[in-house]
Amino acid sequence: MYQQISIQDAKKLLQATDVIIIDIRDLESYQQSHIKNAIYLTVNELQNFCQFTPKNKSILVYCYHGISSQNVAKHLAEQGFEMVYSLIGGYEVVQLGDQM
Protein backbone atom coordinates (compact mmCIF):
# COMPACT_ATOMS: atom_id res chain seq x y z
CA MET A 1 0.00 0.00 0.00
CA TYR A 2 1.16 3.54 -0.65
CA GLN A 3 0.45 6.77 1.19
CA GLN A 4 -0.25 10.26 -0.08
CA ILE A 5 2.05 12.69 1.68
CA SER A 6 1.97 16.47 2.08
CA ILE A 7 5.00 18.55 1.19
CA GLN A 8 5.60 19.26 4.88
CA ASP A 9 5.65 15.54 5.71
CA ALA A 10 7.78 14.85 2.62
CA LYS A 11 10.38 17.31 3.90
CA LYS A 12 10.45 15.49 7.25
CA LEU A 13 10.74 12.14 5.48
CA LEU A 14 13.68 13.36 3.39
CA GLN A 15 15.47 14.60 6.51
CA ALA A 16 14.86 11.43 8.49
CA THR A 17 15.53 8.63 6.01
CA ASP A 18 17.33 7.66 2.84
CA VAL A 19 14.64 8.14 0.22
CA ILE A 20 14.61 7.45 -3.51
CA ILE A 21 12.82 10.38 -5.14
CA ILE A 22 11.20 9.62 -8.50
CA ASP A 23 10.13 12.34 -10.95
CA ILE A 24 7.67 10.98 -13.52
CA ARG A 25 7.05 14.22 -15.40
CA ASP A 26 8.33 14.57 -18.98
CA LEU A 27 12.09 14.76 -19.53
CA GLU A 28 12.09 18.42 -20.53
CA SER A 29 10.33 19.42 -17.29
CA TYR A 30 12.76 17.31 -15.27
CA GLN A 31 15.75 18.88 -17.00
CA GLN A 32 14.43 22.40 -16.34
CA SER A 33 13.89 21.83 -12.64
CA HIS A 34 13.36 19.00 -10.18
CA ILE A 35 13.54 18.16 -6.50
CA LYS A 36 17.16 17.79 -5.40
CA ASN A 37 18.46 14.21 -5.87
CA ALA A 38 15.35 13.13 -7.79
CA ILE A 39 15.77 10.59 -10.57
CA TYR A 40 13.84 10.79 -13.81
CA LEU A 41 11.89 7.63 -14.50
CA THR A 42 9.52 6.78 -17.34
CA VAL A 43 6.76 4.20 -17.14
CA ASN A 44 8.84 2.00 -19.46
CA GLU A 45 11.71 2.05 -16.95
CA LEU A 46 9.55 0.98 -14.01
CA GLN A 47 10.10 -2.74 -14.57
CA ASN A 48 13.89 -2.42 -14.33
CA PHE A 49 13.55 -0.15 -11.33
CA CYS A 50 11.34 -2.71 -9.57
CA GLN A 51 13.70 -5.54 -10.44
CA PHE A 52 16.91 -3.91 -9.22
CA THR A 53 15.78 -1.77 -6.27
CA PRO A 54 15.53 -3.22 -2.75
CA LYS A 55 11.91 -3.46 -1.64
CA ASN A 56 12.66 -1.97 1.79
CA LYS A 57 13.74 1.40 0.34
CA SER A 58 11.53 4.44 0.99
CA ILE A 59 10.27 5.90 -2.29
CA LEU A 60 8.71 9.31 -2.93
CA VAL A 61 7.00 9.70 -6.31
CA TYR A 62 5.88 12.99 -7.79
CA CYS A 63 4.39 14.27 -11.03
CA TYR A 64 2.91 17.63 -12.04
CA HIS A 65 -0.16 17.79 -9.81
CA GLY A 66 -0.07 14.63 -7.68
CA ILE A 67 -2.45 12.55 -9.77
CA SER A 68 -0.28 10.36 -12.05
CA SER A 69 2.14 9.75 -9.19
CA GLN A 70 -0.63 7.92 -7.33
CA ASN A 71 -0.83 5.31 -10.10
CA VAL A 72 2.93 4.78 -10.07
CA ALA A 73 3.00 4.63 -6.27
CA LYS A 74 0.21 2.06 -6.31
CA HIS A 75 2.11 -0.02 -8.88
CA LEU A 76 5.30 0.11 -6.80
CA ALA A 77 3.39 -0.98 -3.70
CA GLU A 78 1.86 -3.86 -5.67
CA GLN A 79 5.39 -4.89 -6.67
CA GLY A 80 6.28 -5.34 -3.01
CA PHE A 81 7.79 -1.99 -2.06
CA GLU A 82 6.98 -1.36 1.58
CA MET A 83 7.31 2.42 1.97
CA VAL A 84 5.92 4.28 -1.03
CA TYR A 85 4.67 7.86 -0.96
CA SER A 86 2.94 10.07 -3.53
CA LEU A 87 3.43 13.82 -3.14
CA ILE A 88 0.07 15.58 -2.77
CA GLY A 89 -0.11 18.44 -5.27
CA GLY A 90 2.97 17.22 -7.15
CA TYR A 91 5.76 19.48 -8.32
CA GLU A 92 3.29 22.34 -8.49
CA VAL A 93 3.46 22.75 -4.69
CA VAL A 94 7.25 22.81 -4.88
CA GLN A 95 7.10 25.59 -7.47
CA LEU A 96 4.67 27.57 -5.32
CA GLY A 97 7.41 28.18 -2.81
CA ASP A 98 7.64 25.04 -0.74
CA GLN A 99 11.17 24.19 -1.85
CA MET A 100 12.48 20.84 -0.73
Interatomic CA distance for residues 23 and 66, integer angstroms: 11
Which active-site residues does the annotation give?
A: 63
The bridge status of strand 58-62 relative to strand 19-23 is parallel
Q: Specify the amino acid at residue 18.
A: D
Task: Find out whether 90 and 67 touch, Cβ atoms under 8 Å.
Answer: yes
Interatomic CA distance for residues 12 and 57, integer angstroms: 16
